[in-house]
Amino acid sequence: GAGVSQSPSNKVTEKGKDVELRCDPISGHTALYWYRQSLGQGLEFLIYFQGNSAPDKSGLPSDRFSAERTGGSVSTLTIQRTQQEDSAVYLCASIKDRAGNGYTFGSGTRLTVV
Amino acid sequence: QQQVKQSPQSLIVQKGGIPIINCAYENTAFDYFPWYQQFPGKGPALLIAIRPDVSEKKEGRFTISFNKSAKQFSLHIMDSQPGDSATYFCAASILGNNLFFGTGTRLTVIP
């Protein structure tokens, strides 16, 4: 597609439930990032995928967070047993390749855990 | 640990004013410094970026000033307009690697 598409745009879930957030990157972009944006905290790196290489999971805050990227395209971020502190906007970005300039971000998924 | 420190947290200027947003970093290996602009409900969008081999870069009304020795860089918006009201993020990386973002500056330009 023309841009990075994320779904859902908003998600309200009860504490303890699992959620899945989806990202469709720009076609042909080999690199994909997930960031978390919390109020007053800027953008926090979560995980990075590059082609068929093993993902860089160094930013995942706990083992409740996981992500996968199927077929080198669509990515799903899963949060298990959600907690209230998981409430944030989850942003996905893609880039043509790692040497490129500038990420293209999606509009994000606003997650609210009640 | 915040890799990139950004200030101020918020900024209000009159139309036509020149808001300045400042960022500082510690990692001298960083060699790519972009600024992103984010409107409510949207993801951040790349605005302008600079490499450390130049001290200034200008694109339209937006200028980055870069001070390598001080490990600081700043964004200046000339002749600011109400449509520039947004949140601005600085970032830094070793080109090709993960971006580290500042905490953001909410800019309001009053008509």
Chain A residues closer than 8 Å to B105 by CB: none
Compare CB distances from A91 to B9, B43, B97 and report the shortest one's residue.
Answer: B43
Q: Provide the percentage of residues in chain B whose pLDDT is more than 70.
A: 99
pLDDT of residue A29: 86
A–B: how many Cβ contacts below 8 A?
A: 53
C-alpha A57, offset from chain centre: 12
Question: In the predicted model, what is the mean pLDDT of residues A7-15?
Answer: 97
pLDDT in tens, B64-76: 999 999 999 999 9
pLDDT category at A71 given cuts 50, 70, 90 is confident
pLDDT of residue A41: 72
Question: In the predicted model, what is the mean pLDDT of residues A60-82?
Answer: 94
Interchain pair B97, A98: CB under 8 A: yes
Interchain pair B42, A40: CB under 8 A: no
pLDDT of residue B9: 94
Phi, psi of B75 (to 5 degrees): -110, 130
Residues A113, A18: contact at Cβ < 8 Å?
no
Does the pLDDT of residue A100 top 60, yes or no?
no
Give the mean pLDDT of chain A: 91
pLDDT in tens, A101-113: 678 999 999 999 9
pLDDT category at A72 given cuts 50, 70, 90 is confident
Mean pLDDT per block of 10 residues along chain B (111 residues) reads: 91 97 96 93 92 94 96 97 97 85 95 94
Q: Is the Cβ of B7 closer than 8 Å to some Cβ of chain A?
A: no
C-alpha B74, offset from chain centre: 6
Cβ-based neighbours of A50, under 8 Å, separated by 6 or more? A30, A31, A56, A98
pLDDT category at A97 given cuts 50, 70, 90 is low
Does the pLDDT of residue A99 top 70, yes or no?
no
Q: State how far residue A38 is from chain B, nearest Cα, in angstroms.
A: 9
pLDDT of residue B68: 94
Q: State how far residue B62 is from chain A, nearest Cα, in angstroms.
A: 17
pLDDT of residue B70: 96
